[in-house]
Amino acid sequence: MSDPEPPQTKEEEEELCTSQEGEQLVLKQETDTFIHHKNTSHSDNIYNFPTTKSHCNTQTGEKSIKCDTCGKDFKYKSKLKIHQRRHTRERPYCCSTCGKKFTQTSSLKNHLRIHTDEKPYSCSTCGKKFRWPSILKNHLRIHTGEKPYFCETCAKRFTFRADLLVHIRTHTGEKPYTCNTCGKNFRHRSVLSKHTKTHTGEKPYSCETCGKDFKTSYESFIHMRIHTGEKPYTCNICGKNFRHRSVLSEHTKTHTGEKPYSCETCGKDFKTSYESSIHMRTHTGEKLYTCNTCGKNFSDQSDLSKHTRTHTGEKPELCHICGERFSQKTHLAKHLMIHTNINSYTH
């Protein structure tokens, strides 16, 4: 007598998980979409697996079958056979499109949705469609605010298990992703991907307004604020707005007087890491920025920008008292002293 149709197994869910992670899964076609490879040696190992013992649960009265390799219990023989393929590594069901193999037909059927782009599961809240019910279940947490995963070290909670696993690396210091070019290690695969572009020079993200290219979508997104004028970060002390959170953080130190960055050579303190790095060039003599017109080198990009105005004649700094214009703020500041002195004599 054959076993009744069993529910989906954990093995099936785990196998699907691999597909859901976004691998481009590839299969092989012979006649049908599903090909069950019957390799004699493998089949013998699977269907005549080392004798399994059947025993009865004394509390429930249900019979179960034990895997002789790992001791796991199963209610159905068919599920045991599928499970045993984890030990033998047999994957008899092959995708006709990309060649990826699976231990059971249901996993193959679910995998095929990657190629057909079938998304039969819809979110009732926002209408977004998904290939697998498990991914829909995860998505629903965005709407409900449910965060079932928490860090045992700091108690921070997460919507997705993958986010928790990545977060744990901040405590362990683990950086499993390594750049093949320079050997630098990273906690996140996405950060490694962005870093790799520093070696290739690739800039796949273009600004639709001015055409400037960027290495990452984030850089492109932040750049767009120049065109939109958006400054979403506000200083709680003086009310000044900023485009970048990091710039707001640095600005806040002008109120606190904090100077946490010290020069290891001369001991001078700075409010920002940028100021400290620029200052270090006075010791190293490094001049990274070159004028395209005359070839003069500068240690700071802002100094190069000021210098470039000597060639272009640009004078962006305006005196609101007399209307005279200047190429640099320092020149304007000196000029304003003239008006200050005049006012002091006339009063």
Q: What's the DSSP call for residue 6?
A: P
CA distance 289 to 45: 68
Domain ranges, ordered by start, for the chain: 65-118, 177-228, 233-286
In CATH, the number for domain 65-118 is 3.30.160.60
In CATH, the number for domain 233-286 is 3.30.160.60
CA distance 187 to 301: 31
What is the length of the chain? 347
- In our burial notation (b when 16+ CB lie closer than 10 A, e otherwise), range 116-141 reads eeeeebeeeeeeeebbbeeebebbee
* Residue 217 identity: S
Is 113:134 a contact under the CB 8 Å cutoff?
Answer: no
State the CB neighbour count (10 A cutoff) for residue 55. 10
CA distance 126 to 338: 64
**Average pLDDT, stretch 210-229?**
88
pLDDT, tens digit, for every residue of 73-115? 888 888 888 888 888 888 888 998 898 888 888 888 888 888 8
Q: In terms of CATH, what superfamily is 177-228?
A: Classic Zinc Finger (3.30.160.60)
pTM over 0.75: no
30 against 183, higher pLDDT: 183
* Residue 151 identity: C
pLDDT, tens digit, for every residue of 48-67? 444 455 555 555 556 678 89
Asked if domains 177-228 and 233-286 share a fold, the reply is: yes
pLDDT, tens digit, for every residue of 133-148? 888 998 898 899 899 9
